[in-house]
Homo-oligomer: A and B are copies of this chain.
Amino acid sequence: MSRAAPESRTAFAHFLPVTTRWMDNDVFAHVNNVVYYSYFDTAVTHFLIESGVLDIEKSQVVGLVVNTHCNYFSSIAFPDRISVGLRLAKLGSSSVRYDIAIFRNDEDLASAQGQFVHVYVDRDSNRPVPVPEALVLALGKLAPPAAR
């Protein structure tokens, strides 16, 4: 939990543009700390849906969020545009850990950075199962650029 330094866009493999909303700003006129996790959550789920891995209605195996964290480096405020960077941090037998960064407007250094961990479970039994093969394949697109 040390306070890591912000990384640049080149360290991430995949990006999702997200529009900020007026109510994202709190009393201090900046995006509230909670809302960053909504950007995280949206980027991961968007990746899963566009990769054909998650079918909300039908998937028998689903990812449960077991851990998230975020370091906040500099503030963002509506109407800033943001881009959410994604890369694979660690693929376990039943779990996937993502590195996620929030980039403000055209800035190259992350305004915030953190991680998001899914454990895959059977929807009925709630027991851990292997990460679905289709996801393992899709995660190839999230390999850290340096590792390619």
Contact = CB atoms under 8 A, between A and B. Distances in A.
A34 B41 CA distance: 8
Contact of A64 (B38, B45, B67, B72): B72
B19 A41 contact: no
B79 A49 contact: yes
A49 B78 CA distance: 10
Nearest to A2: B67
Interface in A93-134: 114-115
Given A46-B22, A67-B71, A72-B65, A57 B41 contact: no
Interface residues of A, number: 43
A68 interface: yes
A1 B38 contact: no
Residues of A contacting B: mostly: mixed
Interface in A3-22: 3, 17-19, 21-22
Contact of A21 (B42, B66, B114): B42
A1 B68 CA distance: 9
Interface of A: 1, 3, 17-19, 21-23, 25-29, 32-35, 37-42, 45-46, 49-50, 56-57, 62, 64-72, 78-79, 114-115
Given A27-B27, A32-B41, 13 more contacts: A3-B67, A18-B21, A21-B41, A22-B38, A23-B26, A25-B56, A27-B29, A27-B56, A46-B79, A64-B72, A67-B69, A69-B70, A69-B114
